[in-house]
């Protein structure tokens, strides 16, 4: 296709590197179909407003329908929008020129980006839900498995493996809320804003919005063409997911090093020199990839900072950052879901560390405070003193009994022995949201029912959009 087909767009004298650097073709592939649908809706509104004849509209629509099976993107034409117009011109002749009536690439690209973003968000939500389900299911099977609650990467309190898994499930459920918010800010139509202040063509903006399955309008036409805040919202939601996955990976790396968990060989690699090594390389890469996503977020915000209203080509630079963030997070999500399903917990190692680090210390202090009416701070002090120089076990218990006796408090070693048992300490926990096996199962159950709701949110929207696109493509007058 010759770029001459669209006289007057790119300057004939433009340098080839200048053409390349100002072209958005590299990130336009992803909105190719969306641009066609936007144009279909636009043709519809041109006809409805009496701006074009029915025969012209039909010709345009049939050419656009063909474009859905593919059209060439040419960087010399700058972008997907000019490429589509060139394609239509080559199909139906000069009447394709009506496509530009009452719209600009500025409102068109904003619209296509919003159509794509809402869909990308649904796709990521689907992968996110699968991971949350994998975490909740693993939690169900590990509801009784003794594990450690860590602080400062040190064994801190007795817990269950389920409880650790569910901490991520709940964090990621919050990310679904962030995706929903980004979806809401994206799902509005800028069409009709034209370059910046609308046009003299009596286009029904509401009808175009409805045809494209939007929830409503981005009303102010200047805001409509200059806004990329919806991409920032989307990348923020992605960043939050990435940060959670990064933390989960950091835990996997650390817990594996401590011998608390093991992973399937599918997620490990060995060393080129040390044949004994089983390195958690997948988790390490997931941990690092969060940086790429965060960089996309900062990059998007920094690109917007200091821009003047309304459209500037700077905005074009945000698009590839958003697509990259989606791609990274999608692959992080799917590999993490399989990796999580392969985690094996080493309860014996967890119990060993529990005893070594006396993770029931806070339980003992609580026991003394509750049973003998000692202020907790004092009980904390007594336990702290008894621990010093004692390895735990019988030795520690004797020191504790003596320390209590000095204060006139009589405590039996039998009763203390029960409190000192880490496994029993989990059973003794009464906290809502805590690690008690029954409470963990209740949480897993709630997480799974939230997943069902989120799944239907995704599917309802996907089918709504599919219906809108099918209707647009099959419309005749």
Applying CB under 6 A, which residues contact ligand ARG?
A: 24, 79, 105-106, 109, 311, 313, 315-316, 319
Which C-beta is closer to ligand ARG: that of 75 or that of 255? 75
> Cβ of residue 228: shortest distance to ligand ARG, in angstroms?
9
Which C-beta is closer to ligand ARG: that of 194 or that of 261? 194
Which C-beta is closer to ligand ARG: that of 217 or that of 318? 318
Task: Tell the residue number behind the tokens 């159509």, with chain if given.
Answer: 115
Burial of 408 (0-12, 13-18, 19+ CB in 10 A): exposed
> Cβ of residue 106: shortest distance to ligand ARG, in angstroms?
5
Which C-beta is closer to ligand ARG: that of 25 or that of 374? 25
Query: What's phi and psi for 409, nearest 5 deg?
Result: -110, 125
Which C-beta is closer to ligand ARG: that of 44 or that of 116? 116
Which C-beta is closer to ligand ARG: that of 308 or that of 431? 308
C-alpha–C-alpha distance, residues 168 and 128, integer Å = 11
Query: What's phi and psi for 358, nearest 5 deg?
Result: 45, 60
Tell me the residue ranges of DSSP E strands in 154-222: 154-160, 188-189, 216-217
Q: Per-residue b/e over 308-334, b at no fewer than 16 CB within 10 Å? A: eebbeeebbbbbbbbbbbbbbbbebbe
| Residue 341 tokens, joined | 């399903």
Query: What's phi and psi for 280, nearest 5 deg?
Result: -80, 65
Please, what is the end-to-end C-alpha distance for the chain in angstroms?
30
> Cβ of residue 325: shortest distance to ligand ARG, in angstroms?
17
Which C-beta is closer to ligand ARG: that of 67 or that of 138? 67
CB 286 within 8 A of CB 246: yes
> Cβ of residue 190: shortest distance to ligand ARG, in angstroms?
12
Cite the DSSP H helix spans in 258-358: 281-304, 318-341, 347-356
CB atoms within 10 A of CB 93: 11
> Cβ of residue 313: shortest distance to ligand ARG, in angstroms?
6
> Cβ of residue 206: shortest distance to ligand ARG, in angstroms?
24
Which C-beta is closer to ligand ARG: that of 30 or that of 287? 30
> Cβ of residue 115: shortest distance to ligand ARG, in angstroms?
14
> Cβ of residue 296: shortest distance to ligand ARG, in angstroms?
16
C-alpha–C-alpha distance, residues 477 and 464, integer Å = 23
């Amino acid at each position: 296709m010759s770029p001459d087909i669209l006289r007057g767009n790119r300057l004939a004298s433009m340098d080839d590197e200048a053409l390349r650097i100002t072209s958005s073709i590299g990130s336009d592939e992803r909105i190719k179909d969306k641009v066609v649908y936007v144009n279909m809706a636009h043709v519809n509104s041109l006809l409805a407003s009496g701006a074009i004849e029915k025969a012209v509209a039909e010709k345009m629509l049939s050419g656009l329908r063909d474009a859905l099976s593919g059209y060439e993107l040419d960087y010399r034409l700058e972008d997907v929008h000019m490429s589509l117009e060139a394609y239509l011109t080559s199909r139906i002749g000069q009447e394709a020129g009506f496509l530009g009536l009452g719209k600009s690439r500025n409102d068109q690209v904003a619209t296509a980006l919003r159509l794509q973003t809402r869909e990308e968000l649904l796709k990521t939500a689907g992968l996110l839900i699968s991971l949350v389900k994998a975490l909740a299911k693993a939690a169900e099977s590990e509801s009784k498995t003794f594990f450690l609650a860590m602080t400062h990467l040190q064994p801190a309190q007795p817990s269950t493996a389920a409880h650790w898994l569910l901490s991520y499930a709940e964090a990621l459920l919050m990310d679904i809320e962030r995706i929903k918010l980004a979806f809401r800010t994206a799902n509005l139509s800028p069409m009709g804003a034209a370059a910046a202040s609308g046009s003299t063509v009596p286009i029904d903006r509401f009808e175009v919005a409805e045809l494209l399955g939007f929830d409503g309008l981005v009303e102010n036409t200047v805001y409509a063409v200059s806004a990329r805040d919806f991409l920032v919202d989307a990348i923020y939601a992605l960043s939050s997911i990435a940060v959670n996955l990064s933390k989960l990976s950091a835990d996997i790396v650390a817990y594996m090093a401590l011998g608390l968990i093991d992973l399937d060989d599918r997620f490990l690699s060995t060393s080129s020199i040390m044949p004994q090594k089983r390195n958690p390389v997948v988790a390490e890469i997931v941990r690092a990839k969060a940086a790429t996503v965060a960089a996309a977020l900062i990059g998007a915000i920094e690109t917007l900072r200091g821009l003047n209203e309304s459209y500037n080509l700077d905005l074009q630079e945000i698009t590839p950052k958003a697509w990259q963030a989606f791609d990274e997070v999608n692959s992080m999500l799917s590999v993490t879901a399989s990796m999580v399903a392969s985690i094996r917990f080493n309860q014996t190692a967890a119990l060993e560390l529990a005893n070594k680090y006396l993770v029931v210390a806070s339980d003992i202090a609580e026991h003394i405070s509750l049973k003998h009416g000692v202020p907790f701070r004092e009980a904390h002090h007594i336990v702290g003193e008894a621990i010093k120089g004692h390895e735990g076990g019988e030795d520690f218990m004797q020191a504790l009994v003596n320390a209590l006796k000095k204060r006139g408090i009589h405590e039996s070693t039998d009763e203390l022995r029960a409190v000192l048992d880490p496994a029993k300490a989990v059973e003794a926990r009464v906290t809502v949201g805590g690690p008690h096996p029954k409470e963990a199962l209740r949480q897993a159950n709630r997480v799974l029912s939230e997943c069902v709701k989120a799944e239907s949110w995704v599917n309802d929207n996907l089918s709504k959009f599919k219906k809108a696109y099918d209707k647009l493509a099959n419309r005749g007058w």
